[in-house]
Each structure stands twice: as structure tokens, then as C-alpha cells.
Structure 1
Amino acid sequence: MRFRREERLKSWSAIGRMFKEGQSFGQYPLRFVWLPVEPENTSFPAQFTVSVPKKKFKKAVDRNRLRRQIREAYRLNKQLLYRNLDPSQKVYALMVIYVAKETVEYTEIETNMHRGLRRLGKILRDQQNQPTQKEE
């Protein structure tokens, strides 16, 4: 599977809202943050972005390498998330933040991406299946 341009989250307002209103959980060395967003002419049920903090990794080479590894792990495992989502209902903004203080092996990143996407898929499927209550 490819990681297409339409799958990338580029909206600064959506990313800012994710930090304020988003739900999250940790799957060390990754933190998953998500938020339902308005669909913007996309056929994908999720839009994805990565964050590696400059405070922990001063060299751009290190940050870029981690970003590439996280994106590749997402690309290989995104079907775990997609099979639990219905794109006609909601589109989700998903951000993965690298939280470790040191670099870890790619196999650990991929393993935890796999676990995290499976867990997130279950959470979002359960949220979609719950009947929404109207406030009076």
C-alpha cells in the first residue's frame, strides 16, 4: 500500500485542535493522538502526521530518520486501522508523536505501531458503534 498525499494531515488548525481536544494513548516509544475532523474531499478514513520533538533530538538528521521510520511503519500497518473505520461516517486526524529520549530500533517502532493501530482501530470502532445521545 502506498502513503498518498490525500492521507497526509497538513492542516495547522486540525493539528492545533488535536493538542487541545484530541484523545490519546501511549504505546512506547509512540504516542497516538486522534480527533474526528470534517472530511475534505478524501476517500481515506484517516489523515496522518508525525511529530519528533526538536527538544529531544537536536540534529535534523536524527529527527528526519525517525520520521521516515514512523511513516514507513504506518504505511505497512495502516490496514489494521482502515478495516475498523467506515469512511462514510467520520474522517479522523491521527498524529503519532515519538516520545522516547533516545533512538530505538526500527523493529521496535514497527511492532509498537502495529499494536497501537490495532488498539486505536478497536477504540474508534467502539466509538462509532455507540449510539450518540442528543443533548436537550
Structure 2
Amino acid sequence: MISSSTHIAIKTYSFNKEEKLKSRKMIETLFREGKAFSIFPYRVIFMPASLTTDKYPVQAGFSVSARKFPHAVDRNRIKRLGRETYRLQKQVLYDALAANSRQMAVFFIYLDKKIPDFATLQPKFSVILDKLAREAGRKEQP
């Protein structure tokens, strides 16, 4: 029998359908009104949002340029690496948002011209998620 604490640990490392940013309206609003910063190799666009689900405080999307990577296989590989790195480290951001009872929409755009490896993305995502967590803790200005 699996203990409940093991079950919770498995849940925190998920990336379910409800956590994925898919709403065209939300994505358009995010690109129009969201704030952005770059930490190479990613450009991160984010904004506080009221999401359709109360279960997860963040919805995230990933994108790779078809111009820089003409083969879909390469684009899919990069997005898969980004999602996996995010999935393993997102708890920092989730905790910060839960502490302030906020929700956020985030979009990650890959900027580099070469396919990364998992080891180079991990420290970058940790910096990105720390910065997003600090933003989540800030008070909104009118």
C-alpha cells in the first residue's frame, strides 16, 4: 500500500492538462498585457490572472520558433525538455503563489539556435522560477 505522503509527492511533480496554458484568449491577453523578462535561453512572459481552475495556481505554455528550428522533431524535443524541467522545479513558484493566494499565467519562449541538454536548462529554470516567485510576492500597483 502506498502511503499518503508518497501520493502527495507524486502529485506535486505532475504537469496536468489543467496546468497547461491553452486558452487562445488568455494567451492573447498575456502577450498584450503581460510583463516579460529574458534569462537566456528563454523569454518569459507572465501576468497575474484568474484561471479557470482553482486547483493549480499557474498555467504555463511553451513555444519554440519554427524559423530557427524548421524540423518539428527538434521543436518538440526542446518543448519537452522545457516542460520536464519546469515540472520538476515548479514547486517554488506554486508555494509563493499559494502564500499570496494568487494565480498566474506564464509563457516560455525558447530563444537559442541550438538544441539544449537537460543539464543546461535546469539551472536556468531555477533562476526563472525564483524570479517569478519574487514577482508573485510583490504587491500589485494601481
Shorter-chain TM-score category?
0.7 to 0.9
Q: Secondary structure at the match of 2:52?
A: coil
Question: Is contact 1:46-1:93 (8 Å) kept?
Answer: yes
Higher helix share: 2
> C-alpha separation between the residues in 2 aligned to 1:56 and 1:26?
18
Deviations 1:73-132 (A, max 9, x none): 0000000111111387432111111011222222111210111001110122123xx5x5
1:106 aligns to what?
A: 118
> C-alpha separation between the residues in 1 aligned to 2:44 and 2:100?
23
Report the RMSD for the aligned CA atoms in angstroms: 1.6
Task: Give the Å deviation of 1:24.
Answer: 0.9
1:60 aligns to what?
A: 72
2:58 aligns to what?
A: 46
Q: Given the two structures, how large is their TM-score scaled by the length of structure 2?
A: 0.84
Question: Is contact 2:57-2:102 (8 Å) kept?
Answer: yes
Task: Structure 2: state its 5+ residue gaps.
Answer: 1-12
Q: Secondary structure at the match of 1:120?
A: helix
* Equivalent residues in 2 for 1:53-132, closer than 5 Å: 53-86=65-98, 89-127=101-139
> C-alpha separation between the residues in 2 aligned to 1:125 and 1:100?
29
For 1:9, which of 9, 21, 24 is the aligned residue?
A: 21
Deviant stretches of 4+, over 2 Å: 86-90
Question: Is contact 1:44-1:87 (8 Å) kept?
Answer: no
> C-alpha separation between the residues in 2 aligned to 1:88 and 1:108?
31
> C-alpha separation between the residues in 1 aligned to 2:129 and 2:53?
23
